[in-house]
Structure 1
Amino acid sequence: MGTILFHLLHVMYIIQDRIVGGYAPAPNSIKYIVSLQTTKGQHFCGGSLVHKYWVLTAAHCNIGTDEMMIVAGDYSLSMFEGTEQYSKPHRLIPHPLYNKTTNNADIMLIKMRVPMVMGSYVSLAPLPRQGTGVMAGRVCRVSGWGYTSLGEGQIPSTLRTVKLPIVSSARCNSSESFNGNITSNMICAGYNAGGKDACKGDSGGPLVCEGRVYGVVSWGNGCGDAKFPGVYTAVSKFRRWVDRTIYSSYTRCLKY
């Protein structure tokens, strides 16, 4: 069974690591990040606010509209800070080409029932233009919460972030690494020595390069392994789909 599927099936039972080798950013400095939670308040994935009604995340974070709550403006998941905003999903739209076996096109848009209000704690994530790339070696930043198991009780879980360089597809696809499993819709990021990475609870969260969300945390082989950088969905390959999905729904679905 794939690790992604495994961690979703066991979302309520196992301890998940957070961002590996990172640090806590200043509170509410990453204003576009959201926490996807179960209706019981358990964090399981991250996401980015790309419109007041829409969140960008990974398709493998799809647990169904009835099971999910979206929280914006949060920093410490274990405390109510008064900056949070909540919305239930109205529709989940995974990319039609998403393949759970290969993890290709692991990207999803969530239309929320209630719009998030922009302000001091919440803002939109800028996205790259269709087809733009990020050079290998460029340093980007990935952020997320990860989560703890219910059995261990809630420990304070503040947002974490880590800076990572982009790894070329050639290196990521080499026989020493992912051996051809990286498609043109994926990008890799990590250090030669390992030790810094996103981990399972960070799925769906943003990899930000030059102020734009170029990647969505997707999959990997372990966390922080020197041979295996983290793998992200390349948002620039799907920018047109994102815009089409968001804006065509306004003309087509006025009844919403």
Structure 2
Amino acid sequence: MLQQFLKLSFLTTLLLGCISTSETSSIESRVIGGETSVITETPYLVSIRYKKNNSTPFEHRCSGTIYSSKVILTTATCLVGLDTSRIHVKAGSSYHTQNDGYLYLVEKYIIHPDYNIWFMDNDLALLILAFDLTLSLPKEIYPIDLISTMPEVNSSATIAGWGVTDSSANGQFSEILQIANVKIVDVLNCKRSYGENRISPAMLCAAGDDSDACLGDAGGALVYEDNAVGLISWGNGCANSDFPGVYTNLLYFKEWIENEVAKL
């Protein structure tokens, strides 16, 4: 489900946001090794859709995580360089293309000022909606709280998304929402895989038994005990046993998020 999630090959894809299948091969974000789910299991999850030009439809680009009725968390890599008027957010749907759920226009987005496009460091953005989300019960559209303390190594967590579900070069986005289990990885082990200087305090790592995020999953939450710990960001391949998935560390950015939201 999360193959090569946001991997972008560390260079090329980074420049273009590396989230759409046509733009990324090494930096990808999708859920691999997962199972079919429904949006009521992950009501905080939205599809961020982009229209490349006037002659093309809006298409799924990456995922987002509902922080409040007005604010969506996602990766900077997903949004950098995009025209706000060509972005829609689809909420409350388990499906990738069906005409259900709710569509929302975007007012603006805020890229973290320290975002590094080459190393995908500080990979965080706030997407500000033009109108408030319609929070619903039963929960199909609902925010998720951020974690207050980091879970221990080997703690179980979940990821979800509509990204590609296999590692083939021609993998397509999943029509139906997928969910998978992963475990928090010791940062020292993650650094051994990627290199001491490649994993910063703004990142955390997680991996599963044949499950991972991949192309199209970036921006979705890594969830531990109903709290968002991280956002799917990047990795070296999808479900690659030698390389854990890398996530934006939301605890590290909690104060920045709160301060930016308070300004709105």
TM-score (norm 2): 0.83
2:33 to 13, 21, 45: 21
Aligned residues of 2:90 and 2:103 also touching (Cα < 8 A)? yes
1:73 aligns with 2:92: yes
Distance, in Å, in 2 between the alignment partners of 1:26 and 1:5 is 30
Aligned partner of 2:42 in structure 1 is 30
The 1:53–1:46 alpha-carbon spacing in structure 2 relative to 1, beyond 3 Å, is: same
Q: 1:66-105, aligned counterparts within 5 Å?
A: 66-81=85-100, 84-105=101-122
Structure 1: state its 5+ residue gaps: 250-256
* Residue identity in the other structure for 1:178: Y
Aligned partner of 1:160 in structure 2 is 178
Deviation string 1:212-240 (CA, Å, 9 cap, x unpaired) is 11010111000000010100000001111
Aligned residues of 2:70 and 2:132 also touching (Cα < 8 A)? yes
Aligned residues of 2:157 and 2:182 also touching (Cα < 8 A)? yes
1:179 aligns with 2:198: no
Aligned partner of 2:221 in structure 1 is 206
* Residue identity in the other structure for 1:134: P
Structure 2: state its 5+ residue gaps: 1-9, 52-56
Whichever of the two has the greater Rg, that structure is 1
Aligned partner of 1:253 in structure 2 is none
Cα offset for 1:200? Answer: 1.7
Aligned partner of 1:118 in structure 2 is 135
Q: Compute the RMSD of aligned alpha carbons.
A: 2.3
Query: SS at the partner of 1:201?
Result: coil
Aligned partner of 1:57 in structure 2 is 74
Cα offset for 1:12? Answer: 6.6
2:126 to 91, 109, 116: 109
The 1:163–1:86 alpha-carbon spacing in structure 2 relative to 1, beyond 3 Å, is: same
Aligned partner of 1:228 in structure 2 is 243
Query: SS at the partner of 2:145?
Result: coil
1:11 to 20, 25, 39: 20
TM-score (norm 1): 0.85
- Structure showing greater relative contact order (alpha-carbon pairs closer than 8 Å, 6 or more residues apart): 2
1:127 aligns with 2:146: yes
Aligned partner of 1:252 in structure 2 is none
Aligned partner of 2:7 in structure 1 is none
Quick one: percent identity of the two aligned structures?
A: 28
Deviation string 1:83-132 (CA, Å, 9 cap, x unpaired) is x1211111110111111112111011011001101112211111123xx2
